[in-house]
Amino acid sequence: MMRVLIADDEAPARDKLRRWLAEEPDVQLLDDASDGLAAAQAIVTLSPDVAFLDIRMPGLNGLEVAAQLEPAAAPLVVFVTAFDEHAIKAFELNAADYLLKPYDRDRLRKTLERLRARRASPERIDAGAAAVRAARAHTGSSERLLVPQGEGLQLIDAATIHWLEADDNYVRVHTGRARYILRRTLTDLLGQLGEMRFARIHKSAAVNLALIDRLEPLFKGDHEIRLRDGTVLRLSRRFKDELFSRLNR
């Protein structure tokens, strides 16, 4: 079965797609969402095989939802849009396909055939990851980050993040008021947030450059980094030159 999620802020559009997908014997509709935040939450909790994402939605648009996903766990993505320029961009994003509104049953069936072929391909995982990477390239560095909040997700401003701490395949996101744990790698998270704002200071840590108060030398080339809130972090000599270069720009 192809497990599918629909995300569109227009109820008639969700209803039409739901009805037509119900006619396909190998499609299981998991849920539908009316905004980007709900769509991201559903992708995390339900792990669909395919996500139909409307490009224009409140909160997060379809491209922003894709950019927030963990590449290794991303579903195949079909972007849905009423705007030709977005359809072209979606195609360039290496999404599984795009649907240009208004579309008919025949056009949807072509999309489903492409999805079935992608799922049968040994490159299935790479297809989901490619859509995430390309969405990030299109949207640029994320100014907001989805983090867990109770049973759901919330958006926080990237500027409020003080530092990032890696622990195997998890990252602890430290802000001034709270700490969040994401099932991500530090490299992937920095790729989403962009390394203009953050800098590696250790193989398992990165810091918000704007929040560094001062650096104090220790021994053998290591330094202490003191943040404006008093947090003290260790700067490895491996990353010292790059950090100093960026601070002096």
Q: Give 63-108 pLDDT, tens digit per residue.
A: 899 999 988 889 999 988 887 776 666 666 666 788 888 999 999 9
User: Is 67 contained in some domain?
Assistant: yes
The residue count of the chain comes to 249
Angle, to 10 degrees, between the axis of helix 105-120 and the axis of helix 11-22?
60
Q: What pLDDT score was predicted for residue 89?
A: 67
What pTM was computed for the model? 0.84
The DSSP bridge partners found for residue 226 are: 214, 232
Domain hosting 15: range is 2-139
What's the pLDDT at 219? 78
Point out the residues of the chain with pLDDT beneath 70: 86-95, 122-125
**Are residues 243 and 212 part of one domain?**
yes
Domain endpoint, select from 90, 106, 139: 139
- Of 139, 168, 199, which one is at a domain's C-terminal end? 139
> 């079909």: which residue's tokens?
78
Same domain, 112 and 35: yes
Report the pLDDT value the prediction gives residue 147, as an integer from 0 to 100.
94
